[in-house]
Amino acid sequence: MKGKILKGSGQTKEDVMKTKLVAFLGVIVILTAVFSHCRSSAPEKTTSRKEAAPNPVRVVRVARERIAERISYTGVIEAWRQVTITPEIAGKVARIYVNEGDFVRQGQLLAELETKTLELQLKQAEAGLAVARANWEDAQRNLERMERLMAEKAVSKQQYEKIKLAYEAAEAQLHQAQAALNLVRHNLDVSRMRAPFSGVVASRNAEVGDVINPMMGGFAPNAGVLTLVDYSKVKVKIDVSQEDIIRLKKKQRAFLRVDAYPDRFFEGEVAVVNQTADPLSKKFRVEVWVPNPKFLLKPNTFGQVIIEVNPHPEAVVVPQSAIIEDKYVFVVENGVAHKREVKLGLQNSTKVEILSGLQPGELVVVAGNFGLTDGAKVRIEGD
């Protein structure tokens, strides 16, 4: 069918539609060209990747130092010396001059018994000694006179022997009276209880008015008047196995650790190594002595004893934290971390001996080494 001719134009309706479509497509082409020109003329953005920042690490310098294997046991801390203050004679407690926790000096008076009876006995003994001395002096003069007469043959031998025997009896009585006096003085002296060494009063076991009998002291857990301890040095007794006893000897270094000071180790030494096992436990008794000048270690508390065995005095040593996978370390050179294989020797809780792979003076990574790669750039932080 032929299209209709539009009035006054000479064109059909189809021709008009085609003309409009061509014009629309022309506009789109022009806009696309303009847009492409704008894009081509815009400056290009940089697409290069930013370089990665260095990894922060902490390092230590490899050094030679002493390292040793360590064995550990738990024991009870005991005072270096402990004594129960008890008089040598029975009597009633008259005075106690100290209390629990007091520090006392050697020779200081701690307590004393009633001494009224002893003082009366002292006067009696002094009088008895005076009588005995007078008798002895008289017998001595008689003997001297008799010796002169004997020399002149003015007396018989029987008379001389009689005077000599009287002198010897008087001399024996003098010694007896002196001994009796010394005994009373000794009883007076021991009724005053003094500190045999400097230390701390651990317990007060009696009160004023109590009667003390030293012969019965062993039947009470806290016998006597006072208990005095010296813990300027302490000892720890431990029972070790048969495998460990062959590795221990006197003078080996030992350390004591207590819960009150978890980050501190008190240095001492092995002092006693018993070579005979206990018949029941089959363990060997070992004693460690530790100086305690500031009295930080308290008696009758638990402590961990660490004994060094098989020491290597000049070993190449690094911290445990430097070791990766039990055989690698990272060595830092010129800001770059290099992974290096090492051979391990002795180890303890903090340090490791390096048998090969490192030299003293090199820097090894001890923090920031997990996840680090060989050849990675690093930044050293801290000390």
Please tell me the predicted confidence (pLDDT) of residue 9: 45
Whether residues 268 and 197 fall in one domain: no
Whether residues 112 and 193 fall in one domain: yes
Q: What would the pLDDT profile of 273-290 be if each residue is shown by its tens digit?
A: 999 999 999 999 999 999
CA distances 288 to 10, 72, 258, 304, Å, are 127, 12, 14, 11
How many CA atoms lie within 13 Å of 305's alpha carbon, on the beta-carbon side? 29
Please indicate, yes or no, if residue 117 is contained in any of the structural domains: yes
Whether residues 98 and 204 fall in one domain: yes
Q: What would the pLDDT profile of 48-100 be if each residue is shown by its tens digit?
A: 445 678 889 999 999 999 888 888 999 999 999 999 999 999 999 999 999 99
Please indicate, yes or no, if residue 38 is contained in any of the structural domains: no
Looking at residue 366, which CATH number applies to its domain?
2.40.420.20
> Residue 69 in contact with residue 345, Cβ under 8 Å?
no
Confidence bin at 15 (pLDDT 50/70/90)? low
Whether residues 190 and 294 fall in one domain: no
Whether residues 247 and 271 fall in one domain: yes
Whether residues 244 and 354 fall in one domain: no
- pLDDT of 19 > 70? The answer is no
> Residue 222 in contact with residue 203, Cβ under 8 Å?
yes
Which residue range is the domain that position 244 belongs to?
72-78+230-310
| Lowest-pLDDT range of 24-33, 80-89, 235-244 | 24-33
Please indicate, yes or no, if residue 12 is contained in any of the structural domains: no
Q: What would the pLDDT profile of 339-359 be if each residue is shown by its tens digit?
A: 999 999 988 778 899 999 999
Whether residues 267 and 338 fall in one domain: no
Please tell me the predicted confidence (pLDDT) of residue 22: 54
Whether residues 96 and 65 fall in one domain: no
Q: Which residues pair with 330 in a beta bridge?
A: 339
Q: What would the pLDDT profile of 194-217 be if each residue is shown by its tens digit?
A: 999 999 999 999 999 999 888 765
Mean pLDDT of the chain: 86
Whether residues 116 and 132 fall in one domain: yes
Give residue 242's region: left, alpha or beta (phi > 0; psi -120 to 50).
alpha
List of residues 6+ apart from 222 with CB closer than 8 A: 84, 203, 205
Task: Calculate what percentage of the chain has a pLDDT beyond 90.
Answer: 68
- pLDDT of 46 > 50? The answer is no
Distance CA 107, CA 87 (A): 14
How many CA atoms lie within 13 Å of 333's alpha carbon, on the beta-carbon side? 11
Please indicate, yes or no, if residue 47 is contained in any of the structural domains: no
Whether residues 200 and 92 fall in one domain: yes
- pLDDT of 315 > 50? The answer is yes
Whether residues 183 and 106 fall in one domain: yes
Read off the amino acid at residue 218.
Answer: G
Looking at residue 131, which CATH number applies to its domain?
1.10.287.470
| Domain's final residue, options 264, 289, 310 | 310
Torsion of CA 251, 253, 259, 264, to 10 degrees: 130
| Domain's final residue, options 154, 183, 212 | 212
* Interval 10-33 mean pLDDT: 56
Please indicate, yes or no, if residue 36 is contained in any of the structural domains: no
User: Strand order of the sheet with strand 363-367?
Assistant: 336-341, 328-333, 363-367, 55-61, 378-380
Output the six-digit token pair for 15: 């021709």
| Domain's final residue, options 154, 180, 212 | 212
Confidence bin at 40 (pLDDT 50/70/90)? very low
List of residues 6+ apart from 162 with CB closer than 8 A: none
Please tell me the predicted confidence (pLDDT) of residue 42: 45
- pLDDT of 14 > 70? The answer is no
* Interval 99-110 mean pLDDT: 95
Please tell me the predicted confidence (pLDDT) of residue 371: 86
- pLDDT of 147 > 80? The answer is yes
| Lowest-pLDDT range of 110-124, 164-178, 202-216, 230-244 | 202-216
Please tell me the predicted confidence (pLDDT) of residue 45: 44
Output the six-digit token pair for 34: 């303009």
Please indicate, yes or no, if residue 7 is contained in any of the structural domains: no
Confidence bin at 103 (pLDDT 50/70/90)? very high
Number of structural domains the chain divides into? 3
Whether residues 205 and 287 fall in one domain: no
Please indicate, yes or no, if residue 89 is contained in any of the structural domains: yes
> Residue 67 in contact with residue 353, Cβ under 8 Å?
yes
Looking at residue 279, which CATH number applies to its domain?
2.40.30.170
Task: Calculate what percentage of the chain has a pLDDT beyond 70.
Answer: 84
> Residue 209 in contact with residue 92, Cβ under 8 Å?
yes
Please indicate, yes or no, if residue 358 is contained in any of the structural domains: yes
Please tell me the predicted confidence (pLDDT) of residue 222: 53
Distance CA 352, CA 147 (A): 93
Please tell me the predicted confidence (pLDDT) of residue 35: 53
How many CA atoms lie within 13 Å of 63's alpha carbon, on the beta-carbon side? 8
